[in-house]
Structure 1
């Protein structure tokens, strides 16, 4: 096995000269990063120091690479596709933003033109082909956008790919760039930091060997984490105060709060505790602490407060465990069922940006400084806020965290005359109302390809609607909507998963083509792509794999042990599959008109139930 590791800055991985080229092989999946992944990388580049390390890039070399200058240096990407693609889209968005600065002063015009020239050479080879070759579906959008953005004469335009997930992610990136940098100078600073970002490029000659390395990198060989390094800081702070055994026992008491999952999951949970604990109780700025700066910050905390700060950290960790996926059920901090139900709901909505506020409130509740009804009301507000936010993808995650950090500051800086519950409620409500999108924008997003935007949020919404309005579950039929199956080596899956009524499979059969496109069956795939991910085409089922891409009638009448478990299951959310007073047993077809009608019915309910007025 020949392995060549080489730390490289982005400026060398995306050079402005030469024929270096990256290819995403056919065995890979397409671009799949969501907006949170993208924004996390963006914020890391923006906030961390130059030369920040973002991970590994595992590649194999193409044998053409060694056959002379007529061939480019081709690397096949085994691991690192998502990061590499996102960085490419950052460069493209920067170029597009520079174009919008065309009316700058003459001195800036020259700098802008020079930078655009550099970026265009990073993104495309001399023959005009992209430096990064994506899989066909992603490449169709990317190469069209690349041609349109880099077109000097401005004659080329972007194709109509707005409904594609890839196009939506690029739109999100352009908004990030546009909203964060108001002039050329700010944009140039970010561009330079992006070029200084480091990846460890590991080059293999053989694909089999590359997969062996990939498995090793993603298995047990984990690097030192923040929690490992902080232990050393804590042990030093305890010297002279307690013996090593007492200090070690205290540290293990902290770590033992987080149980279950693998070591990487556990380490991640403890790291999240440290970051959110600092922001909630120590940080006095409007900016959130970063992972790389956390160690130095906590070193100062232990220097100033001594080893005994570990007791405070243990106490806060027990509270934080109520928000963590890795929970020790034997902790001596507990909250009521009402609070836990809302906490669990909020965790399903990827609400990590408000963790500092929640941690602050839960600590106040555990110390009887904040009333339970205050915490419940705030959690209800945050659930509604995040449902809307996750569907519209506004505001950006970093803006959310900054705004709610300010809420924590407002509560902490209240005067003695001010009631803590009133201050918490008023400030949270103000931020929720200010940052929440308007109903018309929410409605428009609900009519979009909602499954591609946030499937987890869609599942949350459908479960909510079923529980609020349905009668299918009762004393004799247990509500299993939140239960999972698997474990012991098997993939853990929800009992109830999202089901596409009109199948999302690439090859429609079982009468679907004629049903959705009766005048032109050759156009069925276009109709399918337009409608399959709409809200009105989605439901919940415990039999996703059994129904698969079968016909509408099969899905309607599917039974197990003599009982309907397909679309005729008596779920509330399935009532709208038919028109009012229409019996589903007589429903013979499922068309785009049905999907549009049901989308409008469900959207109305969602807008009413998740209002932030």
Structure 2
């Protein structure tokens, strides 16, 4: 059965009437319009009023039908347009409380509040139900008669409540002649125009997926919803009402701690752990079709509790890179932050999370992370396609799922790369190593290797540049041209043996200095904290033989990290 989608143009007085009751679902962001938005809305309406326009179009509202009565009145979740509907409600409440006309007060109040009516079987209700966190404040300071004039002194306001107060202040000032007097004539005309000449288009459907597809096409002024928003709604909707508020708080705490972008990433990682295949549809659709529909017990409380457990692992072990196992804590921090911040790929994170959830003993974390890094980096260096790399990581997920012994997983043949030893050597000896997209990561990994016994935490943040000891463009007739002829420069300049790291941007003029001057200017003035670069101090000269020697040292170190 195809879900019906209805689209209709409607004036504001009919949208805020007995046929419609709106709810802001828990997945929506808090009220977040700013003063500029309030001013823009009012000024646009005022200009249309002044120009005696027949109608002013205020955009579209997308809503999901939650219940429908026989008289075609309904209760709807607002998918798109909550910022506009909330602002319009505040505007009508402000005008209600400013007006000296009892008739205007009564009409405006009816637009935001449904009085009980036993003859029409109408219960007491509000036209717009906001998020639970703000419900009481919104009731007392907007919905109730005189609420917009109620004092907020002594109330600790949330960010969204501050926005509500700001909107009331902005709209109130628009009708003030001075501090004591309201322009009742303007107010009266504005009320009539707003109710009768302001037009919106509502789009409604009973299917949430259809509603969000429409949202993605029609959304203009609103704030874009994410996968986490959609899944929040899906999971909260199946939890009984007495428990829903608790689980909504759990979700929002996760969102506050991680941030929306990180939460969206995490939800994608969880999807990979469940399905172990490359995504073929949107993450939201795959959750519905391949996770929830196959195991309904996962949906609701079970999923939010699982999300909370995974979020704690992700936050503590990946984002904060912390473990309590003292012996491994520094190396774990250094390697995890390097992988997190400098690998250009993220498919390794789901296997790490899956392993950490299944084997919470932290003495296993560093050995597994090293094996995982070996597999990920060698796949990257060998030039596997994104699809091929994902397949390899999904194999790792299957190994974790199928084994009950952490040591057996760590020592699994899947993580052994000795069979590609020669292939890796060829890549590492490439004369154009500098131009490979993994160059900086490899150099940073060598730096960690050199400091492995120092027990010093390294955070590779900020500006990090790759420096050529033998410069790329040496000064004509200078020392470097005497030490390296043009053929030698072609061979040696971009080799790994000629590359070091600097914690600053390159200085092209200093880069061309003679070797001993470069040592002084770059390596003895706090320009670098890299052990890889400090090694240069032990060299008295820089020649083709020097680079060959250092090249061999670098390759032997890389082999000891990943192959031997």
Q: Which SS does the other structure have where 1:551 is aligned?
A: coil
Structure 2 residue ranges without an equivalent (≥5): 1-215
CA shift, 1:376, in A, is 3.0
Q: 2:356, 2:530 → 1: CA distance?
A: 39
- Aligned counterpart in structure 2 of residue 385 of structure 1, from 372, 375, 378: 375
Match of residue 228 from structure 1: 229
Match of residue 308 from structure 1: 301
Match of residue 257 from structure 1: 257
Change (3 A) 1:566 1:556: farther
Match of residue 295 from structure 1: 285
Q: 1:513, 1:498 → 2: CA distance?
A: 19
Q: Which SS does the other structure have where 1:401 is aligned?
A: helix
Aligned length: 333
Match of residue 425 from structure 1: 410
Change (3 A) 1:404 1:270: same
Q: Which SS does the other structure have where 1:540 is aligned?
A: strand
Q: 1:570, 1:406 → 2: CA distance?
A: 35
Q: 2:388, 2:246 → 1: CA distance?
A: 42
Q: 1:510, 1:551 → 2: CA distance?
A: 12
CA shift, 1:441, in A, is 1.6
Q: 1:503 aligned to 2:471?
A: yes
State whether residues 353 and 398 of structure 1, in contact with CA within 8 Å, keep that contact through their aligned partners in structure 2. Answer: no
Q: 1:334, 1:596 → 2: CA distance?
A: 39
CA shift, 1:440, in A, is 1.8
CA shift, 1:536, in A, is 1.0
Match of residue 123 from structure 1: none
CA shift, 1:252, in A, is 0.5
Q: 1:480, 1:257 → 2: CA distance?
A: 24
Q: What are the within-5 Å matches in structure 2 for residues 516-555 of structure 1?
A: 517-518=484-485, 524=486, 528=489, 530-542=491-503, 545-546=506-507, 548-553=510-515, 554-555=517-518
Q: 1:222, 1:457 → 2: CA distance?
A: 36
Q: Which SS does the other structure have where 1:273 is aligned?
A: helix
Match of residue 22 from structure 1: none
CA shift, 1:535, in A, is 0.4
Q: 2:277, 2:530 → 1: CA distance?
A: 49
RMSD, aligned α-carbons:
4.0
Q: Which SS does the other structure have where 1:353 is aligned?
A: coil
State whether residues 314 and 353 of structure 2, in contact with CA within 8 Å, keep that contact through their aligned partners in structure 1. Answer: yes
CA shift, 1:345, in A, is 4.3
State whether residues 410 and 423 of structure 1, in contact with CA within 8 Å, keep that contact through their aligned partners in structure 2. Answer: no
State whether residues 275 and 289 of structure 1, in contact with CA within 8 Å, keep that contact through their aligned partners in structure 2. Answer: no
CA shift, 1:313, in A, is 1.2
CA shift, 1:531, in A, is 3.0
CA shift, 1:446, in A, is 0.9
Output the TM-score relative to the length of structure 1: 0.46
Q: Which SS does the other structure have where 2:264 is aligned?
A: helix
Q: 1:412 aligned to 2:407?
A: no
CA shift, 1:432, in A, is 1.5
Change (3 A) 1:577 1:447: farther
CA shift, 1:501, in A, is 1.0
Change (3 A) 1:243 1:609: closer
Q: 1:601 aligned to 2:553?
A: yes
- Aligned counterpart in structure 1 of residue 352 of structure 2, from 326, 347, 358: 358
Output the TM-score relative to the length of structure 2: 0.50
- Aligned counterpart in structure 1 of residue 325 of structure 2, from 330, 333, 336: 336
Q: Which SS does the other structure have where 2:451 is aligned?
A: helix
Q: 1:287, 1:481 → 2: CA distance?
A: 34
- Aligned counterpart in structure 2 of residue 438 of structure 1, from 404, 411, 420: 420
**Alpha-carbon displacement from aligned partner over 1:566-603 (angstroms, at most 9, x marks no partner):** 89x9956654787xxxx62xx2xx44454333212321
Match of residue 558 from structure 1: 521
State whether residues 235 and 244 of structure 1, in contact with CA within 8 Å, keep that contact through their aligned partners in structure 2. Answer: yes
**Alpha-carbon displacement from aligned partner over 1:487-508 (angstroms, at most 9, x marks no partner):** xxxxx424xx432112235x75
Q: 1:277 aligned to 2:270?
A: yes
Change (3 A) 1:603 1:481: same
Q: What are the within-5 Å matches in structure 2 for residues 85-484 of structure 1?
A: 223-238=224-239, 240-242=240-242, 245-259=245-259, 266-267=260-261, 269-280=262-273, 282-283=274-275, 286-290=276-280, 292-298=282-288, 301=291, 304-305=296-297, 306-309=299-302, 310-322=304-316, 324-325=318-319, 335-336=324-325, 338=328, 340-341=332-333, 342-347=335-340, 348-350=342-344, 352-366=346-360, 371-393=361-383, 395-414=384-403, 419-426=404-411, 429-433=412-416, 438-448=420-430, 449-453=432-436, 454-468=438-452, 481-484=458-461
Q: Which SS does the other structure have where 1:384 is aligned?
A: helix
Q: 2:364, 2:243 → 1: CA distance?
A: 43
State whether residues 577 and 594 of structure 1, in contact with CA within 8 Å, keep that contact through their aligned partners in structure 2. Answer: no
Q: 1:334, 1:481 → 2: CA distance?
A: 15
Q: 1:542, 1:288 → 2: CA distance?
A: 37
Q: 1:409, 1:480 → 2: CA distance?
A: 33
CA shift, 1:225, in A, is 2.4
Change (3 A) 1:437 1:288: same
Change (3 A) 1:293 1:572: closer
CA shift, 1:468, in A, is 4.2
Q: 1:515 aligned to 2:504?
A: no
